[in-house]
Amino acid sequence: MTQFKPGTKALWSGEKEQLAYGATQVPVVHSVSFGYDDMDEWHEIATGKREGHIYGRNTNPTTQAFEDKVKDLEGAEAATSFSTGMAAISNTLYTFLRPGDRVVTIKDTYGGTNKIFTEFLPKSGVDVVFCETDDHAEIEVEIANGCQVLYLESPTNPTLKIIDIERMAKAGHAAGALVIIDGTFASPVNQNPLELGVDLVLHSATKYLGGHSDALGGIVCGSKELIDQIYHYREINGATLNPMASYLLLRGMKTLHLRVERQNENAMKVAQYLKTIDWVDDVFYPGLEEHKGHVIAKRQMKGFGGMLSFSVKGGLETVHQLLPKMKLAKRAASLGCVQTIIGPPRTTSHVECTPEEREAMGIPEGLIRYSAGIEDIDDLIADLEQAFNSLPKELYAKDA
């Protein structure tokens, strides 16, 4: 399926191999184990000499279809899946890191990822260095000081900073590091980091891949050699994606390209609208020309994504009054859903962090993250407009 365009892959990749009985859709194979009458065949499959399934913690046909689809969309040789995005991240890091190793990363990683770096990896004797997210020169200096893993994320959560992926991958490889990137915010429709030179690209499938906020999952794509090692760590440690979630993710992915294209459009229009609103101090969206990472984003992304954030005058108080007024935005954690989702980082992506830690990451308490859905744009804009119009003017005066 590698010759086809993303929209075609989203529909056809990974499916044919898993169809039985003339079914046109991949079934949910709810089976813990897979049996064989022929002892030699069983042994060959169990020892990896022949393709097939043995036990549900290792592999499953529905899950394999999901993995194959994402693998094709990322243009990867192999992929392996996990129960959540965080499992994909932690299992991948623990596969490769040893006591005494050094990781170079950025300050703006996803909140849970940041906790792995600050809380768990140090307990395993791994040293983690945090760089200013879009200070490429600083990252290069730290990489040159020596590291086994360079861990990136782009665009970042929640202020949509952009990393020059090709430049960082080159620097990482020059130092002999394994280069890993979390591409969740972009989805494989907007960005394919393997083409830009990274070794592994991860996704929280919970977000754009599934797209309907009804299933958790994670996936990592890369060379067969690397994925085999990560798969082995996961099959033993057990953070396996279950068949029902695989099916939901697989089903969601059939419209991935349509959803993401619409979300790209909606996010751009919402960002442009927010720029015209007096209540709004800053709008963070890589599609805006004045965004610090716009030129890099334009070069390395096929679309600017459905995520944006903005800060409001009056800070936290304005956030508290504005969000409940919005009728067409779910006030919830998560992102990348067909419906618009809105929330402050202090209760969503960075809830694990203290206000001081958020401040150090450059996340103002008055920041609002907006995950554009696929609604009609006129309705989304009108909804924002009525919500801003309902705010008491005293709040504005406080900050103006």
Ligand X SMILES: *Cc1c(COP(=O)(O)O)cnc(C)c1O
The Cα–Cα gap between 145 and 139 comes to 10
The Cα–Cα gap between 222 and 202 comes to 9
108 touches ligand X (CB under 6 A): no
220 touches ligand X (CB under 6 A): no
218 touches ligand X (CB under 6 A): yes
Catalytic status, residue 231: no
152 touches ligand X (CB under 6 A): no
Task: List the one residue from 64, 206, 213, 242 that touches ligand X (CB under 6 A).
Answer: 206
Q: Are 207 and 183 in contact (CB under 8 A)?
A: no
The closest alpha carbon to 256, from 72, 120, 58, belongs to: 72
Only one of the segments 10-18, 81-89, 251-259, 283-291 lies at the binding site for ligand X (rule: CB under 6 A); that segment is 81-89
246 touches ligand X (CB under 6 A): no
Number of residues in contact with ligand X under rule CB under 6 A? 15
370 touches ligand X (CB under 6 A): no
- 182, 234, 285, 370: which is the annotated catalytic residue? 182
| 3-state per-residue secondary structure call for the chain | CCCCCHHHHHHHCCCHHHCCCCCCCCCCCCCCECCCCCHHHHHHHHCCCCCCCCECCCCCHHHHHHHHHHHHHCCCCEEEEECCHHHHHHHHHHHHCCCCCEEEEECCCCHHHHHHHHHHCHHHCCEEEEECCCCHHHHHHHHHCCCCEEEEECCCCCCCCCCCHHHHHHHHHHCCCEEEEECCCCHHHHCCHHHHCCCEEEEECCCCCCCCCCCCCEEEEECHHHHHHHHHHHHHHCCCCCHHHHHHHHHHHCCHHHHHHHHHHHHHHHHHHHCCCCCEEEEECCCCCCCCCHHHHHHHCCCCCCEEEEEECCHHHHHHHHHHHCCCCEECCCCCCCCCEEECCCCCCCCCCCHHHHHHCCCCCCEEEEECCCCCHHHHHHHHHHHHHCCCHHHHHHHC
Closest contact distance (angstroms) between CB of 47 and ligand X is 32
350 touches ligand X (CB under 6 A): no
Task: List the one residue from 58, 63, 64, 84 that touches ligand X (CB under 6 A).
Answer: 84
- 9, 71, 107, 207: which is the annotated catalytic residue? 207
The Cα–Cα gap between 14 and 23 comes to 14
- Comparison of 79 and 391: residue with beta carbon closer to ligand X: 79
157 touches ligand X (CB under 6 A): yes
Which residue is at the shortest CB distance from ligand X? 85
Only one of the segments 188-196, 202-210, 241-249, 270-278 lies at the binding site for ligand X (rule: CB under 6 A); that segment is 202-210
One symbol per residue from 172 to 191: x for binding ligand X (CB under 6 A), - otherwise; what is it? ----------x-xx------
Only one of the segments 21-29, 60-68, 82-90, 95-103 lies at the binding site for ligand X (rule: CB under 6 A); that segment is 82-90
The Cα–Cα gap between 100 and 148 comes to 10
Catalytic status, residue 207: yes
- Comparison of 85 and 366: residue with beta carbon closer to ligand X: 85
Task: List the one residue from 216, 274, 361, 395 that touches ligand X (CB under 6 A).
Answer: 216
Catalytic status, residue 110: yes
- Comparison of 161 and 207: residue with beta carbon closer to ligand X: 207
Closest contact distance (angstroms) between CB of 33 and ligand X is 27
Closest contact distance (angstroms) between CB of 153 and ligand X is 6
Closest contact distance (angstroms) between CB of 369 and ligand X is 10
Q: State the greatest distance between any 2 C-alpha atoms of the chain, in Å, as a whole number.
A: 79
86 touches ligand X (CB under 6 A): yes
Which residues, including other chains, have CB under 8 Å from residue 54's CB and lie 6 or more apart?
Answer: 33, 34, 45, 46
207 touches ligand X (CB under 6 A): yes
Closest contact distance (angstroms) between CB of 338 and ligand X is 16
Chain positions 109 to 148 lying near ligand X, rule: CB under 6 A, are 110, 112
- 94, 110, 208, 370: which is the annotated catalytic residue? 110
Only one of the segments 93-101, 201-209, 278-286, 378-386 lies at the binding site for ligand X (rule: CB under 6 A); that segment is 201-209
* Site residues (vs ligand X, CB under 6 A): 84-86, 110, 112, 153, 157, 182, 184-185, 204, 206-207, 216, 218
The residues annotated with a catalytic role in the active site are 57, 110, 182, 207
